[in-house]
Structure 1
Amino acid sequence: MLSPSLLVFDFDGVIVDGMNEYWWSARRACLRLHPAIDLPESTPPQFRQLRPWIHHGWEMVLIAALISEQCGPLEQLGVQEFVHDYAAYCTAALKRFSWTPALLQQALEAVRADAVRTDRDAWLALHQPYPGVPERLNAFSEENMAWAVLTTKARDFTAELLASMGLKPERLDGHESGSKPEVLRRLACDWTLSGFVEDRRPTLETVRATPGLESLPCWLVSWGYLRPADFTDLSGAIRLLRPEQFAAPLADWP
């Protein structure tokens, strides 16, 4: 028999705005691997513009390295041209730097672990929950709705952040658990899934194309790290969720 209903949320771009932390950690991870490069302490405009295309943490470290190159592809092409073949340029950069995604992910998580250990409060302060989101998540208990977090961030770091916001999901899965479609399929074996809330349209499209998840309700939040085209031509399978709709009872969501 299935357990009660479960509503699943992405973390970055849905619950929390971590832009300042992304650059803070990515910059330090990049400098650990490539100490000779020069990177600004404040978040560069290119990094903010590229954030909607970044899917995994390791990509942030790679983008930091590309931003440091005065004659590199990002500088030569500009952000708009770079994102036209984002995956290919990232693959080429990995080869050029002789890096792997695993190496970059390990460097990023080491930086975060050091920050949590040495100055936890300062690291937590780099993140800001989106207005009204923590309160709305806590209110789901009044609707007899359990909620979970499914993120590509490491589970331990996500747990630290959720706890600092007074949030306790029924379940928390980080990148260690596997891809989001894989985790959602496993969750569907134990729960009645009421939907998945994300800020990354390609992820929602992949979820809906996954066998067993074709009918899962999917919402794309309007306040996350979205590309301009993400708002256009949405199918009925993926619905745009605005803040005022998110604040309403689940039964009234689009």
Structure 2
Amino acid sequence: MSAGPAPLLVFDFDGVLVDGMPEYWWSAREAALQLAPALQLPEEAPAGFAQLRPLIHKGWEMVLMAAELGRADLDLEALLADYDGALPRALARWGWAADSLQRQLEQVRSTALATDPAAWLARHRLYPGVKERLDRLAREGADWAVLTTKGAAFASRLLAAAGLEPRALFGHEQGSKPEVLRTLLAEDRPLWFIEDRRPTLETVRADPRLAAVRCFLVSWGYLGPRDGEGLPPTIAWLTPERFAAPLAQWP
């Protein structure tokens, strides 16, 4: 890298560092069944949940989508085509509120961690090469942080179990991702943001206050089928090979 302050790399958590798809369905299913016990939901995540996962932004949406997948008359294609528009309609259909769904999800996770932490942790895995690459960042003079819509306590527990210590960890309690990034820019050092959700990066790019943030979309994680196509020059495509390379070789 060129001379100057070393960058702070800010990583999204789910879909970038950790694959927790089994846990997402398990927790979402448990929360949905507690709220609507008559639901019939399979123990293994249905294919529709994997299709919806790239569109899901916050934890409460997972609970809502689990319930929707239990509807016999669900039109999955219509849901996928207008996900954002479908969210308020689905909340109204079930008579639920986003904040109560978030609390229910976090209660399920807290109980699982308190009663069987090994089983809860086992439902997650680091993506290949992640731990080794993060461990090498210190030798390149770079710091890294985590910015996630997951509750900070749950992300912290997973990172500790993997032997990883970010310089900072921001959960949904600290505000939206653009809000946190604007705060970090005040440190007056290069800021690189690594995500697997293209709409999140597009929101960052649309904020002129975040013009200095360098954005990367990873080629793994919970991507939609066309998320990697036609990227603007302000969002770089990050493959596992480039991720493993020295920072000076990142796009």
Amino acid at match of 2:155: T
Partners of 1:215 and 1:32 in 2: how far apart? Answer: 44
Which of 142, 149, 152 is the matching residue for 2:139?
A: 142
1:5–1:191 CA contact under 8 A, matched in 2: no
Which of 29, 32, 54 is the matching residue for 1:30?
A: 32
1:6–1:191 CA contact under 8 A, matched in 2: no
Moved over 6 A (4+): none
Q: Secondary structure at the match of 2:210?
A: coil
Structure 1, gaps ≥5 residues long: none
Amino acid at match of 1:30: A
CA shift digits 1:92-145 (9 cap, x unpaired) = 010111101001000000000000000001100000100001110111000010
1:240 and 2:237 aligned: yes
2:29–2:41 CA contact under 8 A, matched in 1: yes
Q: Pairwise mapping of residues 197-216 of structure 1 onto structure 2 (< 5 A)?
A: 197-216=194-213
Partners of 1:65 and 1:36 in 2: how far apart? Answer: 10
Measured after TM superposition, the shift of residue 6 of structure 1 is 1.0
Q: Which residue of the partner structure matches residue 114 of structure 2?
A: 117
RMSD: 1.3
Q: Pairwise mapping of residues 159-198 of structure 1 onto structure 2 (< 5 A)?
A: 159-198=156-195
Measured after TM superposition, the shift of residue 191 of structure 1 is 4.7
Relative to structure 1, is the Cα distance of residues 8 and 191 closer, same or farther in structure 2, using a 3 angstrom cutoff?
Answer: farther
CA shift digits 1:203-248 (9 cap, x unpaired) = 0011111132113110000011001121111011001100000000
Partners of 2:93 and 2:185 in 1: how far apart? Answer: 41
Measured after TM superposition, the shift of residue 3 of structure 1 is 8.1
| Count of residue pairs the alignment pairs up | 248
Structure 2, gaps ≥5 residues long: none
TM-score (structure 2 length as normaliser): 0.96
Measured after TM superposition, the shift of residue 160 of structure 1 is 0.2
Measured after TM superposition, the shift of residue 81 of structure 1 is 2.7
Q: Which residue of the partner structure matches residue 45 of structure 1?
A: 47
Which of 124, 141, 147 is the matching residue for 1:127?
A: 124
Q: Secondary structure at the match of 2:199?
A: helix
Measured after TM superposition, the shift of residue 55 of structure 1 is 0.4
TM-score (structure 1 length as normaliser): 0.95
CA shift digits 1:71-95 (9 cap, x unpaired) = 2xxx3x23x3322211121110101
1:19 and 2:21 aligned: yes
Q: Which residue of the partner structure matches residue 69 of structure 1?
A: 71
Partners of 1:37 and 1:189 in 2: how far apart? Answer: 48
Which of 6, 9, 13 is the matching residue for 1:7?
A: 9
Measured after TM superposition, the shift of residue 27 of structure 1 is 0.3
Q: Secondary structure at the match of 1:231?
A: coil
Q: Which residue of the partner structure matches residue 59 of structure 2?
A: 57
Percent same amino acid at aligned positions? Answer: 55
1:249 and 2:246 aligned: yes
